[in-house]
Amino acid sequence: MPIFTESALEAIALRSQGWPRVINTLTINSLLFGFQLKKEQIDEEVVRLAIEDSGV
Q: For residue 13, what pLDDT is reported?
A: 97
Q: For residue 55, what pLDDT is reported?
A: 83
Task: Sketch the domain layout of the chain as residue ranges.
Answer: 6-54
State the Cα–Cα distance between residues 47 and 52, nearest whole angstrom.
9
pLDDT tens digits along 9-47:
999 999 999 999 999 999 999 999 999 999 999 999 999
Q: For residue 56, what pLDDT is reported?
A: 79
Whether the full predicted model's pTM is greater than 0.75, yes or no, is yes
pLDDT (mean) for 48-55: 93
